[in-house]
Amino acid sequence: MRLFAGRFWHEYTRMRTAIYMLIGVLGIVLIGTFVPQQFSSAQGKVTEFLGSHAALNDLATHFGLPLTSVFVSPLFYVLLGSIYIALLSCVLTRGRALVVRTVRGYPRSPQYWGEWGSWLFHTSFFLLLIAVVWGKATGFDGIMTITEGQRIAETRASYDTLQEGMLFDGHHSGYEVQLNRFAAPLQANGMPEDFVSNVTVYDGGRPVITKDVRVNDFLGYDNVDFYQQDYGWAPHIVVKNPSGEVVSDNAAQLISDDKTASTGVIKVPDFNYMLPGQSTPTQIGARLVLYPDAQALPTVGAGNALSLTYGPGGAAANNPVLEVQLFVGDLGLNSGASQDVFSLDTTGMRPYYQDAAAFALPMHQSVTLQLPAANNGTADFTIAFPDLKQFSLFHVKKDSGVPLVYATFILTMTGLLTKLYLRPFLERRRRGHRATLLPQAVATTEPEAPPLTSVREEVLTR
């Protein structure tokens, strides 16, 4: 039994086994490039793949390799783990041998330095592992949206989504970030030239930094980093109820893929108006479509009445028009179901217009609408669209492992270059080919000149 274990360990820590394990990593990673992956590919593609290859995926999942998340699959981790264990054994034995050689004062041959290089290279993978795991475990990673003019605190509640590491102490920094202005200047071809968020950080109420955050230029303060990731339109909408009270005065954040048409919702739970014959105040809500550069299309409706419908144009705010599909009733906010800020649950609501038609509301305008009032009368309320803002979507994260990752990079490169270049360089110097400026010696970029003797040496010694 001991013999078997010993043999197994010997086989397992051989470099040939390492090669097979690396080939295994290659195989898994290849699957990851060709199969759409959760979190890095579009969700639609993932769903489509799962739909058309369900049996295959079930089989693979059975073996610990769910095809749409191979990079976090059990099999991948097991393989990486076994590589690391083999690597650890290799690094420990070779490291001990090197230390012994050093202590006993054996000659410092080129081979000796090459082995130190190789040892450093392989050992740096452990530092990388520590850097990655420690950074992720003690940090967090989330998405935060801020509308122009809005100031948000860096606290758990401010995030749209947030993932905290297992060892994160739960203390967010609490400072506030205000988005002063956002701009996405467009190129002639309509593609964005840049995304720029002008933000101010307030710490303890005092402004401490004002900075333009853009792609490739993040905001870092108190170990938390804000990265410009996306942006969107946020129409400012003011709703007054029949008593003339302002019951909603907000910028609704709309989402879109190409910014020429964005969608979202507005919910007014505190509309504060009692429809005749009802015992609870009614609420209103609407689905919104925004065309920042609306193109008007005249259409002829019933009774030859000419009306305008709108469609998307460009991505700049040349002619912002909102299309509002209004609903009246119960927003369902008390049902306890989790509320999605981008969708409207209309099960307890009636469309304001019979056929659920939407009406257009150009910027700087307001519409006056009627609701039934007591004694068959009507009560007027208004929805206004005074101006259009933008919001910025930031990737916010804390990862203290990053400097260590970079340190690892330096060690890896040092080890690799020592192994691949210092050893041959020293060997050549030993052979007497001193590095001079003579043409045949300029070959520092071409180590190990090709004389057949060295080739034969290699053949014989390996």
Residue closer to other proteins, measured from CB, 277 or 439: 439
From other proteins, ligand HEM, none, interface partner of 86 (C-beta below 5 to 8 A by class): ligand HEM
Which of 236, 287, 397, 419 lies at the binding interface for ligand HEM (CB under 6 A)?
Answer: 419
Q: Which stretch binds ligand HEM (CB under 6 A): 111-119, 158-166, 338-346, 453-461?
A: 111-119
Gap between the Cα atoms of 203 and 225, Å rounded: 15
Q: What angle do helix axes 74-103 and 110-138 make, rounded to 10 degrees?
A: 140
Question: Is residue 460 part of the contact set for other proteins (CB under 8 A)?
Answer: no
Judge contact between 378 and 372, C-beta under 8 A. yes
Site for ligand HEM in 21-60 (CB under 6 A): 21
Which of 67, 86, 146, 371 lies at the binding interface for ligand HEM (CB under 6 A)?
Answer: 86
Q: Residue 107, class by beta-carbon neighbours within 10 Å (0-12 exposed, 13-18 middle, 19+ buried)? A: exposed
416 to each of 116, 117, 123, 378, 427, how far by Cα in Å?
A: 10, 6, 11, 81, 17
Instruction: Give the pair of three-digit tokens for residue 138.
Output: 């003690």
Question: Is residue 427 part of the contact set for other proteins (CB under 8 A)?
Answer: no
Query: Shortest CA distance to 231 belongs to which of 332, 345, 144?
Result: 144
Q: Which stretch binds ligand HEM (CB under 6 A): 15-23, 45-53, 151-159, 227-235?
A: 15-23
Q: Which stretch binds ligand HEM (CB under 6 A): 115-123, 133-141, 158-166, 443-451?
A: 115-123
Give me the half-sphere count of Cα atoms (radius 13 Å) on the Cβ side of residue 286: 25
Residue closer to ligand HEM, measured from CB, 112 or 134: 112
DSSP-derived secondary structure for 142-178? EEEEEETT-EEESSGGG-SEEEE-TT--S-----EEE
Residue closer to ligand HEM, measured from CB, 21 or 137: 21
Judge contact between 322 and 278, C-beta under 8 A. no
Which of 57, 68, 118, 392 lies at the binding interface for ligand HEM (CB under 6 A)?
Answer: 118
Instruction: Give the pair of three-digit tokens for residue 42.
Output: 């579009």
SS3 at position 43: helix
Which of 31, 46, 90, 321 lies at the binding interface for ligand HEM (CB under 6 A)?
Answer: 90
Site for other proteins in 1-20 (CB under 8 A): 15-16, 18-19
Instruction: Give the pair of three-digit tokens for residue 281.
Output: 């105040």
Question: Is residue 56 part of the contact set for other proteins (CB under 8 A)?
Answer: no
Q: Which stretch binds other proteins (CB under 8 A): 173-181, 186-194, 296-304, 354-362?
A: 186-194
The H or E element spanning position 456 is: helix 452-461
Judge contact between 147 and 391, C-beta under 8 A. yes
Which of 35, 57, 79, 115 lies at the binding interface for ligand HEM (CB under 6 A)?
Answer: 115
Instruction: Give the footprint of other proteins on this chain (CB under 8 A).
Output: 15-16, 18-19, 22-23, 25-26, 29-30, 32-34, 37, 40-42, 71, 141, 187, 189, 191-195, 214-216, 218, 225, 227, 229, 395-397, 399, 402, 405-406, 409, 412-413, 416-417, 420-421, 443, 445-448, 450, 452, 454-456, 458-459, 462
Instruction: Give the footprint of ligand HEM on this chain (CB under 6 A).
Output: 15, 18, 21, 83, 86-87, 90, 114-115, 118, 122, 419
